[in-house]
Chain A
C-alpha cells in the first residue's frame, strides 16, 4: 500500500512545469516534499491526487492508476489542499458528513468516523457552526478532518500547517505522527522545520526537476549543517544542484 510516481511530466502549452519526476512511498513513511515557490510542488500534488492528468508518466495509488480508474484510485486517498477551500455555508459537521458520504460511509460507520476525526482534529466544540464563521485554524482543521475521515492509506497534504499558530502546528504534527502508522503521507511545505518534526524522507524539486531524494540526515549532510543551507544549495542556481 502506498503511492508511486513514474516519470511524471506536466506541461502547460510549451511550458514544462514538472519534468520527469519519480518516487515511491510506502505506508509508515512521511515524505517531505519541498521546493522554492513556483517549483511545481502544487501541480505535482494535484497530479498525485488525480485532479490534474499528467502530460506523460503515471501515478499509482495503491497500485491503481487514477487515469485508468479514477474512482478506485481515489478511494484510498486523502487530500488536504492548500488554503483550505471549503463550502462556507455548511456547518463543520454537515460538511464532514457530506465528505464521508462521498467516500461511501453511512450509518454507524459514518457516525464513528465523524466522532473520530472531530476528536482527532479538536472540532467537537465548533461542530454545529458554519464554516465561514470559523477561524483560519479551525478551517484548516476541518479541511484536515475531511482528508482523513475515510481512513485513507495515502495522505497528500499541501502546506498542512500554513497559517496556524505554534500550538496548532504542534497538534497537526502530532496527528501526522499518529497517522503514519497505517498511512503513506506526503507533506508539501515551505517550512523546513516540518521536515525535522515529522518527515522520514525528503524529496526536493526545483523548476520542476527533482534535485534531491533521500533521508533527512542525508538532506542535512548536503550542507553539513542546517536544513536551510541544504535547501539553498539545492535550489539556488549559483550554488549548483546536487543530487
Chain B
C-alpha cells in the first residue's frame, strides 16, 4: 500500500506540475469570475445564468484536464520509458494502473475543488441584476494575482516549480475567500425574505457542485484507461465522443429502447452525465437529497471499477517504451 501511495503521490505531482494543467485552471478561474458581468444583461435570471455557466465551465474544463493529465502521465511515460523504471521496481502492473488512476483522480479533484470555490464566489459577485460585488471581484482576481506572484517568487528564489506552488496558493486562497464572502453575505440575512432570483443558498448549490466530482472522476478513469493505448489527440477525441454520447444517451435510449430493464441497463452502461448535472434542480430550488448523491457515488464506483479493469487489460499486453529504444 505504501508503494501505491508513493506512486499516486508522484503521479499527482507530475500532473499538477504540467503547465497545461495550470493554464487550464487559470483560464477557467478567470472565465468563472467574469460570468457575473454578463449576467447584468439577463433579466432577473442572473443567478441561474451564473450558476449554469460556472458549472458548465467547471465540468468541461475538469473533463479536459482529466484527459490531459492521463495523456501526460501515462502516454508520455509509456513513450519515454519511465514506465520501465517503475515496473522494474517491486510493483505489479495492477499497482501501476491503480496508482496512475488515483493520481489523476486526485489532480482532477484539486482542479475541480478550486473551480467549485470560484463558482461560489461568482454567484456571490452577481449580487442582483443591476449590481455586482466589485469588492469581492477585486479580492478574487487579487487572489489569483497573489497566487501567481507567490509561485513566481518561489520559482525565482528557490528554483521550485511555479505551477505547483501557485496551485497550492490557489487551493488555500480561493476557498478561503469563497467561505469568507459567503459568511459575510449571509450574516444577519433572513433566508425566508430572500427572493429566489437574488441569492442561492449553499445547501442548494453545494450538492450540485459536489456532484461534478464523480463526473470528473469517471472521465479521469476512462481517459486513463485509453491513455494506456493511445496518445493525447485520439484520447481527447474519444473522450469528447463519450461525453457527447453521455449527454444524449438517456433521450435516445428512451426513444429507441424504451424505459424497460434493458433501457435502464443501456442508460447505466453509457456514462450518463445527466446524473451529475443538477443545474435544473437548483433553478427550481429543489434540495438534492443526500441519498441521490450517495447513489451517484455508488454508480461512479462501479464505473471506475469497470474502466480500471479495462485499463489493466489494455496495459497487460502493451509493448512499453517504444521511443526509448
Indicate if the CB atoms of A85 and B82 lie closer than 8 Å. yes
In Å, the complex CA distance between A103 and B90 comes to 7
- Which of A12, A81, A83, A104 makes the CB contact (< 8 A) with B88? A81
In the assembled complex, B81 has its CB within 8 A of some CB on chain A: yes
In Å, the complex CA distance between A86 and B86 comes to 10
Indicate if the CB atoms of B88 and A70 lie closer than 8 Å. no
In Å, the complex CA distance between A147 and B59 comes to 42
Indicate if the CB atoms of A42 and B91 lie closer than 8 Å. no
- Which of B3, B7, B88, B319 makes the CB contact (< 8 A) with A79? B88
Min CB distance B289 to A, Å, is 43
Within residues 129 to 144 of chain A, which ones have a CB less than 8 A from any CB in chain B? 130, 143
Interface SS of A by simple majority = mixed
Q: Which residues of the partner chain B approach A156 to less than 8 Å between Cβ atoms?
A: 88
Q: Which residues of the partner chain A approach B81 to less than 8 Å between Cβ atoms?
A: 81-83, 85
Q: Which residues of the partner chain A approach B13 to less than 8 Å between Cβ atoms?
A: 89
In the assembled complex, B133 has its CB within 8 A of some CB on chain A: no
**Interface size bracket, A side:** 20 to 34
Tally of chain B residues near chain A (CB < 8 A):
28
Indicate if the CB atoms of B6 and A85 lie closer than 8 Å. no
Known: A12-B319, A75-B90. A83 touches B324 (CB 8 A): yes
Indicate if the CB atoms of B90 and A74 lie closer than 8 Å. yes
- Closest A residue, CB atoms, query B87: A51
- Which of B14, B92, B321, B324 makes the CB contact (< 8 A) with A87? B14
In the assembled complex, B57 has its CB within 8 A of some CB on chain A: no
In Å, the complex CA distance between A241 and B13 comes to 51
- Closest B residue, CB atoms, query A128: B159
Indicate if the CB atoms of B84 and A70 lie closer than 8 Å. no
In Å, the complex CA distance between A101 and B92 comes to 16
Indicate if the CB atoms of A86 and B320 lie closer than 8 Å. no
Q: Which residues of the partner chain A approach B87 to less than 8 Å between Cβ atoms?
A: 49-51
Q: List 12 A-B contacts (CB under 8 A).
A: A70-B92, A71-B90, A72-B90, A74-B89, A81-B81, A83-B81, A85-B81, A85-B82, A99-B89, A101-B6, A102-B6, A102-B89
19 extra A-B contacts, CB within 8 A, seeds A51-B88, A86-B82, A143-B85? A49-B84, A49-B88, A50-B87, A51-B87, A70-B90, A70-B91, A70-B92, A71-B90, A75-B90, A79-B85, A81-B81, A82-B325, A83-B81, A83-B324, A85-B82, A85-B321, A89-B13, A101-B3, A146-B85
